[in-house]
Homo-oligomer: A and B are copies of this chain.
Amino acid sequence: MPGVPPTRFVFLGPEGTFAEQALRAVPAAARGTRTPAASVPDALDAVRAGEADAALVPLENSVGGAVGVTMDELAAGDPLMIIREVVLPVNFVLATRADADAPAAAGALRTVAAHPQAAAQCRGWLRAHAPAATVVEALSNAAAAAAAANQEVDAAVCAPLGLRRYRLRALAEQIADRADAQTRFVLVGRPAPPPPPSGDDVTTVAVRLGRDRVGGLLGVLTELAVRGISLTRIESRPTGDGLGSYVFLVDCAGHVAEPPLGEALMGLRRVCFDVRFLGSYPRHRLAARADRPHTPAGLAEVDFADAAAWLAALRAGRPG
């Protein structure tokens, strides 16, 4: 129901992963129910079926590999809309048991459990600081933490949230090799009017290029550029609709309620085989980031308003 804030949340489980940590960053979710789902499709289907109000799933990340699934679910199937994004810095810790006989330093570790991609992200650090350790693969960051808690391994690579949940302590923090790695999650609901413009919003669309329409991807980017819309992310995904057909997931700066982005969306609608609007929502900025895109001369909202007034005068026979 539009206007009613969501109270029942699902997230990509299991508990203790980054997705739960991201959901806790959403104020409404702190007061609502939070249920883990076994997979991204399960989480989104719960929303589609009305069993949950919103789902927190990863969209773009360097950990977990679920991006493709989320993108395909959003681009096809029953429509959903992104309400909000949550960006988390990738912040792995090396966790071991808190009791006295647990290993006291990384150099002493013989076995470390880790999700394969977490292991990949911390590979350089582990080589340098835990050279004697063998990496044991785990199905999730939470499963790795559980393995450390159960004494199956000496330590685990996991999310900070895993420390408290599995009563572990950190041997080292921020062990990812790239300091600026992030995971971007989205909170997804059923179609509804988007939140009002915040002044710094993201709009996500899924654009399908057919064979018999003009322009191709160059045409898509031109529609955006002509209205001064910055493209901040683009991914191509194959579709199942036959040869030569792609869907592009595109993030733009701006909000559907604003004239520049509105006009650009109408342009995409005209030149693309299909455009699916996936939501306008406030950009989530980590503290260290403040790179708001620059608006080229003549392409600010005020310029769109001026141009509309000028055209109205022309049509009335009052060229200025």
Contacts and interface: CB of A to CB of B under 8 A. Distances in A.
Interface of A: 2, 38-41, 62, 64-69, 72, 79, 81, 116-117, 119-120, 123, 135, 137-139, 178-182, 191-194, 212-214, 216-218, 221-223, 225-226, 231, 233-236, 238, 240, 243-244, 246, 248, 256-257, 262-263, 265-267, 269-271, 276-277, 289, 291, 293, 296-299, 303-304, 306-308, 310-311, 314-319
B39 A120 contact: yes
Contacts of A178: 240
Contact of A318 (B191, B217, B293): B191
B137 A40 contact: no
A117 B69 contact: yes
A248 B178 CA distance: 18
A269 B39 contact: no
Contact of A123 (B41, B192, B236, B316): B41
B315 A256 contact: yes
Nearest to A121: B69
A191 B319 contact: yes
Contacts of A120: 39-41, 69
A270 B243 contact: no
Given A216-B231, A243-B289, A270-B304, 8 more contacts: A65-B67, A67-B68, A234-B235, A266-B310, A269-B307, A271-B299, A277-B314, A277-B319
B307 A266 contact: yes
Contacts of A299: 214, 270-271
Between A194, A269, A318, the greatest number of chain B beta carbons within 10 A of the residue's beta carbon is seen for A269
B218 A266 contact: no
Contact of A319 (B212, B214, B248, B276): B276
Nearest to A278: B319
B297 A213 contact: yes
9 closest A-B pairs by CB: A65-B65, A193-B317, A266-B307, A243-B291, A269-B307, A270-B298, A218-B221, A192-B317, A277-B319
Nearest to A123: B41
